[in-house]
Structure 1
């Protein structure tokens, strides 16, 4: 059921031996609550961080669909590593979708990535349920055309290693948002060592506090109105963010199904003197997990391909609904698939040595990523029923 296995370029970039190495490290990173340093070195050496960079800039020239498949494959081995590196790919996705539109203002992002820089995503803020469409951080204009940014960003994956961080803030002089990049060496940045969570521990998505941090004029990406809007940079964040998040959690769900198949095929029932994979109740539950994941994979492949051809396909205002929808379907389906796998594979999976218990903890992080289930339903209700007076 893994369509990623049918992508030769993905297999070449993530061969089986590398995946096994990453899988072997994952439990240790989780147990020690430690960043995936060795994984990142191996992925950088393989060129994994420049997948989405067009060939003309020195990258691999992968499509978003191929990157989605690669992230699913990586998540089957090391979910927290996949989630962490995902945020770099989201920034590449912003530049990629703008490049597809013929907008070159973020082409420098490709060049910096090819030169080895790591990008990260600093949008989430405590209590800001508007997410991309407002900010509780503030941006003070400077005489040179840049800004100084003050605020607190949460769930900042890749905290130990990022070179440039995409942030947004509300301008102090008008009701407008500014999106742009800050550099790690800038004064006023404090990365807190506060990542001690139930799952996705190796991502080290620590809190980042900003106090009058310089955003250079050259690193200003866009100015947008408050509220939902079709700005190309906002689209570029929203689409790849949701689709690549969905890819990571879909990979976890796929791995859970594969483990359930493997474990129930090897465990034997004393009563029936047969593998547990012959038990009709277990077969039903594992089949249910497979059905759930199959639908998600098909939708992911379709929507990522649509983004790869965004100048030819236009969903209008429904783009954001589709992005939010597939993210929620992927995370909910993966959560259910992992739980079904745990239910069907016996009490040994309750021990800390079990891969499935780690997947069970990791998959829960998907509930907290935007767009959450509540905002998805609110958006669909507004689209279908109109606003509430």
Structure 2
């Protein structure tokens, strides 16, 4: 049985220093974070959310929020890649704690070392969880064949299980969105080598082509009506995705602020002969960045506790979760921008850590929820849906 540990103990300073030391190379070479993943797996990080009775550490969602921010401060792309595995284990844990054992197999397999990835995103599909262009074809034995393309599949070189969804348009109860898990060994799964982005390069979030890949009958976990759905499974995906994702960008911003403070103390003004930390304009930039960032962590940990405890936010739940993602990403972008202005022209070079962070932070706007989607959700919560 694993020994209980904290995020700060598992992700100790020595481990984070090694991970930070590899980040620039992964980015420069557009390479997957192989060594980071191996060390994190060896430490048990991939089973952090698995209950102790099933072989994990039994961490809370709040623990993972803190841990992901800490990991992102060392290597944002590594944290973002691992995030997708943690989302699935978080979903399984929430359902398990509420007496739903549909994903207990996932918890057991994660404890045994399987790596789970997220195969939901599709090009042009702004419905996300509420629709799919992938075909889900039911089989006589209860399994489902999936045919379609999934984009932004983080952990592409390493995943062993892929959670996907598709639309069944032929069954008697159609249309239904069908969620299931497929295996890496399936011959009808292809991973394209098409990840060449300006930031978050180490995630290697490649396109996954499904040419009739099979999810066995015991790996079909939900059949749901398309569109917004109150099913706990959908809520758990949305909650874990938004919270853990936001934690990555919060950690990235915290690192950027630290680098700005270091730069302000180390740089000297040729005009005054004083450290830049004495410059009122620099002090104001850092103070404004710190003030904005100061409100992020309490909101993330508070919402994580509310999700785990089953707090009743009623119709405002999705507004709160999409809102915290948009707010955190925008805050991170503002903090990085302030840090770059404080640190100066050296950050324009690709090898500078702040140069990498200002590229990495740009990815935040492409994750759901989008700004427009979040604002629509928030407006609907406060005003109700637009009347046709």
Q: TM-score, normalised by structure 2?
A: 0.96
Q: C-alpha separation between the residues in 2 aligned to 1:384 and 1:342? A: 37
Q: C-alpha separation between the residues in 2 aligned to 1:210 and 1:172? A: 17
Q: 1:348 and 2:341 equivalent?
A: no
Is 1:156–1:205's contact at 8 Å kept on the other side of the alignment? yes
Deviation for aligned residue 1:319: 1.4
Q: Deviations over 1:226-254 (max 9, x none)?
A: 11111111111110000000000000011
- Matched residue, 1:40: 37
- Matched residue, 2:135: 138
Deviation for aligned residue 1:351: 1.4
Deviation for aligned residue 1:273: 1.8
- Matched residue, 1:171: 168
- Matched residue, 2:102: 105
Q: C-alpha separation between the residues in 2 aligned to 1:46 and 1:102? A: 28
Q: 1:56 and 2:53 equivalent?
A: yes
The runs of 5 or more residues in structure 1 that have no matched partner are 1-7
- Matched residue, 1:73: 70
From 8, 22, 36, the equivalent of 1:25 is 22
Deviation for aligned residue 1:317: 2.4
From 337, 356, 359, the equivalent of 2:357 is 359
Is 1:53–1:62's contact at 8 Å kept on the other side of the alignment? yes
Q: C-alpha separation between the residues in 1 aligned to 2:384 and 2:53? A: 45
Is 2:102–2:221's contact at 8 Å kept on the other side of the alignment? yes
- Matched residue, 1:222: 222
Q: C-alpha separation between the residues in 2 aligned to 1:187 and 1:319? A: 40
Deviation for aligned residue 1:23: 0.4
Q: C-alpha separation between the residues in 2 aligned to 1:316 and 1:76? A: 34
Question: Helix, strand or coil: the match of 1:162?
Answer: coil
From 320, 323, 326, the equivalent of 1:325 is 323
Question: Helix, strand or coil: the match of 2:50?
Answer: coil
Is 1:135–1:170's contact at 8 Å kept on the other side of the alignment? yes
- Matched residue, 1:152: 149
The number of equivalent residue pairs is 381
Q: C-alpha separation between the residues in 1 aligned to 2:97 and 2:294? A: 29
Deviation for aligned residue 1:321: 1.2
Is 1:149–1:214's contact at 8 Å kept on the other side of the alignment? yes
Question: Helix, strand or coil: the match of 1:150?
Answer: strand
From 107, 111, 114, the equivalent of 2:111 is 114
Is 2:315–2:381's contact at 8 Å kept on the other side of the alignment? no
- Matched residue, 2:370: 372
Q: C-alpha separation between the residues in 2 aligned to 1:52 and 1:257? A: 29
Deviation for aligned residue 1:187: 2.3
Aligned-CA RMSD value: 1.1
Matches within 5 A, 1:220-369: 220-310=220-310, 313-369=311-367
- Matched residue, 2:210: 210
Identify the range of structure 1 (377-386 vs 198-207) with the bigger mean alpha-carbon deviation: 377-386
Is 1:187–1:214's contact at 8 Å kept on the other side of the alignment? no
The runs of 5 or more residues in structure 2 that have no matched partner are none
Q: C-alpha separation between the residues in 2 aligned to 1:315 and 1:95? A: 21
Q: C-alpha separation between the residues in 1 aligned to 2:294 and 2:353? A: 22
